[in-house]
């Protein structure tokens, strides 16, 4: 089925500036469906429309085709494919975008039938990442993901493109252009992987340096366009680019943040997640996303104004599990409370979310108090015996940890305190009895 109303709402006129610059946005037909409920299919297709707009094309029409199993030749079936071919001609479509990943054969067959470019969701997201990658690491990661996607989709052009040798035994079809292209891509992939291994080593060194400073690391995660960068700017004045578009920022940014109790933490902004995030991107951006795995606490930012908030939470947690960060403690933050529906806020609060507005600052103070409490709760609770002559140690415990109980006996001051990871080693000599393990340690 098609959605005629959507086409009218999404179509827009080119501005005078765009006409002067010769900018012409492609007209796109979006195709969704698969073996999911109608509600899920429509929601995913609406998100595909946002991705299409971000990539620089106008979604002109939507089409849904629900099937239990994809058609091996065309994904959508012969009859539906013919119906869409007529729609492509009638609406003067430039590109057809599918909401699922197509096989190379399906893509070729559909392009032959439609006589226009056919793109799947993976290629669309890769294109958006390519537009928004600005750092050297980001550009390397995107190029690697694109080449991994492109490699199985190379198309040969037959014997006329082959290279023939000059000696005996080398005459004949020789090496085809397809094989040459494949070898070049494999060489480039190998080089990019070496370069990114170097980037990963640098990032690992940076993380170790930050660990030596003994400041907790907090990572902002969330669905794309949830407001992570806006919240980071509100908290730290980082000056990170903020746009009402998907995947505006790709490169991780780390800033210091002073909490209400005086503690200093490091806050890292990460790339936004999305449903069906291409595995090529997850693999290529792994060195960037390791900030998430290494974090002491995740601040999971949710767009409280989105009707899809709970589905987006599930999508983010699914990607976190894929990265190996599913067990990292999480603080849920419901952003955009200034424009959110009150009932939606109540539902998110029921999930433990702290409501804030990164745009206006409302709720940020309460959020910082909650963040400080959660970080303190993650610290180990230990018991120490501090000699009276070591008043400097007692002062350091009050300064660097949270002293819960302080009792003075005949020989020393017995202290029960909550300490960060770094403090365990620094104060280990004051653990009573066997110093190999802090007594009284609790979560």
**Domain definitions of the chain by residue range:** 4-129, 215-376, 379-430
Q: Does residue 418 carry a pLDDT above 90? A: no
Q: List, for residues 142-170, the tens digit of each pLDDT value.
A: 888 889 888 888 765 444 444 444 445 54
If pLDDT is split at 50, 70 and 90, which confidence band does 3 have? very low
- Residue showing tokens 């020989």: 411
Query: In the prediction, which pLDDT does 365 show?
Result: 92
Q: Is the pLDDT of residue 212 over 70?
A: no
The pLDDT > 90 percentage for the chain reads 28
Task: State residue 379's pLDDT score.
Answer: 76
Q: If you count DSSP H runs as helices and E runs as strands, how many of each does the chain have, helices first? A: 16, 13
CB 158 within 8 A of CB 135: no
pTM above 0.85, yes or no: no
- pLDDT (tens digit, 9 = 90+) per residue, 244-290? 555 555 566 778 888 887 778 888 887 778 877 777 777 767 666 77
Residues 228 and 269: beta-carbon distance below 8 Å: yes
pLDDT of amino acid 29: 94
Confidence of residue 437 (pLDDT cuts 50, 70, 90): very low
Separation of alpha carbons 342 and 337, rounded Å: 8
Mean pLDDT of the chain: 79
CB 312 within 8 A of CB 208: no
CB 374 within 8 A of CB 380: no
Is there a shared CATH topology between the 4-129 domain and the 215-376 domain?
yes
Quote the CA–CA distance of 227 and 303 in Å, as a whole number. Answer: 7
- State mean pLDDT over 219-231: 87
> Helix H segments across 285-420?
286-293, 309-323, 342-350, 364-378, 391-400
The DSSP element (H or E) to which 254 belongs, if any, is: strand 253-258
For the stretch 73-99, pLDDT in tens is 999 999 999 999 999 999 999 999 999
Query: Dihedral through CA 309, CA 313, CA 315, CA 316, nearest 10?
Result: 130
Sort 303 into a burial class: Cβ within 10 Å, 0-12 / 13-18 / 19+. buried
What pLDDT was estimated at residue 40?
82
* CATH architecture group of domain 4-129: 3-Layer(aba) Sandwich (3.40)
- Rounded to an integer, the average pLDDT of 116-129 is 90
Per CATH, which fold does 215-376 belong to? Rossmann fold (3.40.50)
pLDDT digits (tens, 9 = 90+) for 41-80: 888 888 899 899 988 899 999 998 878 888 999 999 999 9
């Amino acid at each position: 089925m098609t959605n005629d109303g959507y086409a009218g709402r999404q179509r827009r006129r080119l501005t005078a500036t765009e006409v002067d610059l010769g900018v012409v946005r492609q007209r796109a037909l979006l195709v969704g469906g698969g073996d999911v409920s109608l509600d899920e299919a429509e929601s995913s297709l609406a998100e595909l429309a946002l991705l299409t707009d971000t990539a620089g094309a106008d979604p002109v029409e939507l089409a849904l085709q629900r099937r239990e199993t994809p058609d091996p030749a065309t994904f959508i079936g012969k009859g539906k494919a013919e119906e869409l071919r007529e729609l492509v001609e009638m609406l003067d479509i430039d590109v057809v975008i599918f909401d699922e990943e197509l096989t190379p054969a399906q893509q070729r067959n559909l392009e032959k039938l439609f006589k226009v470019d056919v793109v799947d969701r993976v290629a669309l997201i890769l294109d958006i990442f390519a537009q928004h990658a600005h750092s050297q690491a980001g550009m390397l990661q995107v190029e690697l993901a694109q080449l991994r996607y492109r490699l199985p989709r190379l198309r040969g052009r037959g014997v006329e493109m082959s290279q023939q040798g000059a000696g005996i035994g080398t005459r004949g079809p020789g090496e085809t252009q397809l094989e040459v292209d494949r070898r070049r891509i494999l060489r480039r992939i190998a080089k990019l992987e070496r370069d990114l291994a170097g980037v990963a080593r640098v990032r690992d060194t940076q993380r170790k340096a930050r660990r030596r400073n003994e400041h907790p690391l907090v990572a902002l995660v969330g669905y794309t366009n949830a407001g992570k960068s806006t919240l980071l700017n509100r908290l730290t004045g980082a000056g990170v680019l903020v746009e009402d578009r998907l995947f505006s920022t790709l490169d991780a940014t780390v800033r210091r943040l002073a909490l209400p109790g005086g503690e200093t933490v490091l806050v890292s902004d990460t790339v936004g997640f999305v449903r069906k995030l291409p595995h090529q991107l997850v693999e290529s951006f792994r060195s960037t996303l390791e900030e998430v795995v290494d974090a002491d606490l995740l601040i999971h930012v949710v767009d409280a104004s989105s009707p899809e908030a709970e589905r987006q939470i599930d999508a983010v947690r699914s990607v976190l599990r894929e990265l190996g960060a599913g067990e990292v403690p999480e603080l849920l933050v419901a952003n955009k409370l200034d424009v959110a529906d009150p009932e939606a806020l109540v539902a998110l609060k029921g999930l433990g979310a702290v409501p804030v507005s990164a745009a206006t600052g409302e709720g940020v103070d309460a959020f910082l108090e909650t963040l400080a409490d959660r970080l303190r709760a993650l610290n180990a609770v230990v018991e120490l015996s501090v000699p009276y002559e070591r008043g400097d140690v007692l002062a350091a415990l009050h300064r660097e940890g949270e002293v819960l109980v302080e009792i003075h006996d005949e020989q020393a001051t017995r202290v029960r305190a909550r300490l960060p990871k770094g403090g365990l080693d620094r104060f280990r000599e004051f653990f009573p009895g066997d110093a190999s393990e802090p007594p009284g340690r609790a979560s």
